Chains A and B, each alone.
Chain A
Amino acid sequence: MAPAGPRSGDAIFASAERVNAELFTLTYGAIVRQLLTDLEEVEEVNKQLDQMGYNIGIRLVDEFLAKSNVSRCIDFKETAEVIAKVGFKMFLGVTASVTNWDADGTCCSIVLEDNPLVDFVELPDTCQGLYYCNVLSGVIRGALEMVSMKTEVTWARDMLRGDDAFELQVKLLKQVPEEYPYKDDE
């Protein structure tokens, strides 16, 4: 039986089926490479990576909710913390931190110092303008949309572009109230 309370990202990751990260990293790299060949335009590749991430996010959120056992977050601040501490850990095995909150608590940064997507990766000069990890921003946007939060996710720092960390800026645009087609006690 699943424990009653929320589980830590570490505990979920430890008990999950895991695979060799090289396979994941190289597969993602090969996808980006093929997209660059097939689509030619870097801008278009950024868009497609984001779209792929979005599609993954809307599916992955189910697994996240089922395994993490987190209850409803009280506000966007808690949501961001849960993504950083539980979400990143249970899937990618790394932890992220949340910083740079704006005054009204609707915009923050998720900072990633360790990112398995970019092991072995070095971008050639021809790929300037490529947001190599754009799949991640798509995943977050897709997953949050499934829990009624419309967000805009953009890269503020990118180690492949010479920055000292990966920083995703997550901006809450709109919280869509959930409408259930049924009552709780039915």
Chain B
Amino acid sequence: MSGPHEEALKGFIEQFNSEHENITVEPMNQGSYDDLEQKIMAAAKAKTLPTLAQAVTNVVPEYIGNDFIAPLNDFIEDPEIGLSEEELADYVDVFQQSSSWDGTFYSLPFSKSTRVLYYNSGILEEHNLEVPETWADIRNISETVTADGVVGMGFENSYESEFQAILKQLGGTYIDEASNEATFASQEGMEAMTMIKDMIDEGIARTAGEDDYMSNPFGIGDVAMYIGSSAGIPHVASAAEGNIEWSTTTFPTLDGEAATTFAGNDIVMFNQAEEAEQKAAWEFMKFLTSPEVTADWSMQSGYLPVRYSAQELPEYQSFVEENPAYAAGSQQFDAGFFIARVQGGDAVRNIILEEMELILLDEKSVEQGLTDAQERANEALQK
């Protein structure tokens, strides 16, 4: 966390420190999320873990498996310092689920994001088109607007998220968390991958490719729509400034089915800390996820508010009114799901990205690529 994000966090920490005489929170900037993960790894080995840190949801299973982090149930259920039933229910459902394993909470949601559809309103108006709601709309619009220098639809290089969402909309499962088994090379999986590949092959869609992220090609008007992380809104805003008119809408549905992935970062408490430190850390975790702070954090960072009541706050509502692009994210809480959280999840991600690349390059058929990916993924998961 650096720049405006770091400033915002420092503000929260100052407020917390002044409100709590006995507790001092000391922030330590660790660079990017990747850097943070590597430093946690090293600190765990050196037994110098902090009391509290952010962690990508996908890596939490590795932390649990290696016994780094403390379960939070004792804190949550504590009658004095815990959360009341209403308070706990105020945490957005999909985030409660992604923070708990078999009823045990290992994290609280913090910097969360979801996938939304970005669209260039200028291009849509020019062709008298409505804002797309379904995958059929996406296809129609892409066919209509694709022309010299403009591609209809864009996918991020990490479009395995979209693959998973379409797979879910078709009724398939990516990885079954209970049995620790990858099942994406199903009939539904092939259909989902074919849908994406066909659009790219026909030239009405593209991936970010060498542009790394879709925000730049979208911002200069080379791409009419794309699906990306809601946390990218500030990047799109700066890329689009002075070039195009744009907004966001919810993730497209398929045959009436809505599903979209939620991802991002949680806060975890490490178990090397002493009891008093853990108690203090718990106070800070509650503070960071309180409705006022999560709303404020969301307005300053572009991440989603993690509490339902945060959205009701007047400042947040007027913020969304002024910045309508931020509305889509929280509108799709009910359609939200998350990537199976399993040990070896990052290995599976490397495998699927690699095989999908081979599929798009026509070096493997959809069936071959997905079957190979599933086989390799299961090998990695069974380790």
Are A and B a genuine interacting pair, yes or no? Answer: no
A residues at B contact (CB < 8 Å): none
B residues at A contact (CB < 8 Å): none
